[in-house]
Amino acid sequence: MSKKKDQEKFTEYSINTDDAWEIDDNTMSLNILDSNFNDNSEICKQTNAEVPPRTANQQQSSTVVLDSSAVRKPTDVNSSTYPGIIRRVDDNQNLKASLSVRYTNNSNPNSFSTANITRSNLATIVDVDQPKQNKFKEIFDQSTIDLEKLRKTSWNGITKQYRAQAWKLLCGYLPPKVERREDTLTRKRDEYWSYVSQYYHTRTDKEHQDTFRQIHIDIPRMSPLMAIFQQVVVQELFERILFIWAIRHPASGYVQGINDLLLPFFAVFLAEFINNDVDIEHFNIDSLSESNRRIIEADSYWATSYLLEGIQDNYTFAQPGIQYKVRTLEELIKRIDEPLYRHLKNQNIEFLQFAFRWMNNLLMRELPVRCTIRLWDTYLAEQDGFSHFHLYICAAFLIRFSKDLLREKDFHGLLLLLQNLPTQSWTSNDISILTAEAYQLKVMFANAPRHLSNS
Partner 1 sequence: MAREDEYDYLFKVVLIGDSGVGKSNLLSRFTRNEFNLESKSTIGVEFATRSIQVDKKTIKAQIWDTAGQERYRAITSAYYRGAVGALLVYDISKHNTYENVERWLKELRDHADSNIVISLVGNKSDLRHLRSVPSDEAKSFSEKNGVSFIETSALDSTNVEQAFHTILTEIYRIVSQRQIQDHIGPISPNPPIHLPPTDPDFKSRQNTTCCS
CB closer to partner 1, 169 vs 222? 222
Distance of CA 315 to the CA centre of its chain: 18
Query: Measuring CA to CA, how many Å separate 384 from each of 81, 131, 133, 175, 433?
Result: 32, 28, 25, 19, 20
Burial class of residue 347 (count of CB atoms within 10 Å of its CB; 0-12, 13-18, 19+): middle
Bridge partner residues of 177 (DSSP): 144
Nearest to 430 by CA among 147, 86, 22: 22
Residue 412 beta carbon to partner 1: minimum distance, rounded to whole angstroms: 5
When the beta carbons of 89 and 251 are compared against partner 1, the nearer one is 251
Residues 6+ apart with CB under 8 A from 261: 304, 307, 308, 361, 362, 364
Backbone conformation region of residue 227, classed left if phi is above 0, alpha if psi is from -120 to 50, else beta: alpha
CB of 46 to partner 1, least distance (A): 32
Q: Which amino acid is at 180?
A: R
For the CB of residue 419, give the shortest distance to partner 1 in the complex, in Å: 6
Residues in contact with partner 1 by the rule CB under 8 A: 108-110, 115, 210, 214, 217-218, 220-225, 253, 255-257, 315, 317-319, 348, 352-353, 356-357, 360-361, 365, 409-413, 415-416, 419
Q: Smallest distance from the beta carbon of 20 to partner 1, in angstroms? A: 29
The least CB distance from residue 308 to partner 1, in Å, is 14
- Closest contact distance (angstroms) between CB of 326 and partner 1 is 10
- Number of residues written out for the chain: 455
CB of 218 to partner 1, least distance (A): 5
Tell me the one-letter amino acid at 170: L
Spatial contact of 57 and 9, defined as CB atoms under 8 Å apart? yes
How far apart CA 447 and CA 348 sit, in angstroms, is 31
Cβ 255 to partner 1 shortest distance, Å? 5
Give 108 or 276: the residue with its C-beta nearer to partner 1.
Answer: 108
- In the complex with partner 1, which residue's Cβ is closer, 63 or 347? 347
Nearer to partner 1, 118 or 275 (CB): 118
Name 144's bridge partners.
177
Contacts of 34 (CB under 8 A, 6+ apart): 68
Specify the residue, 89 or 115, whose C-beta has the smaller distance to partner 1.
115
Of the pair 3, 213, the CB lying nearest partner 1 is at 213
Nearer to partner 1, 363 or 446 (CB): 363
| 156 versus 360: smaller Cβ distance to partner 1 | 360
Collapsing DSSP to helix, strand or coil, 144 comes out as: strand
Closer CB to partner 1, residue 68 or residue 353? Answer: 353
d(CA 133, CA 137): 6
Q: For the chain, percent helix, then strand, then coil, each to nearest 5?
A: 70, 0, 30
What minimum distance in Å lies between the beta carbon of 245 and partner 1? Answer: 15
Q: Give the count of beta carbons closer than 10 Å to the beta carbon of residue 377.
A: 26
Asked whether the beta carbons of 336 and 35 are under 8 A apart, the reply is: no
Phi-psi group of 32: left, alpha or beta (phi > 0 → left; psi -120 to 50 → alpha; rest → beta)? alpha
CA dist., res. 389 & res. 402, Å (int): 20
Give me the least distance between CB of 298 and partner 1, in Å please. 26
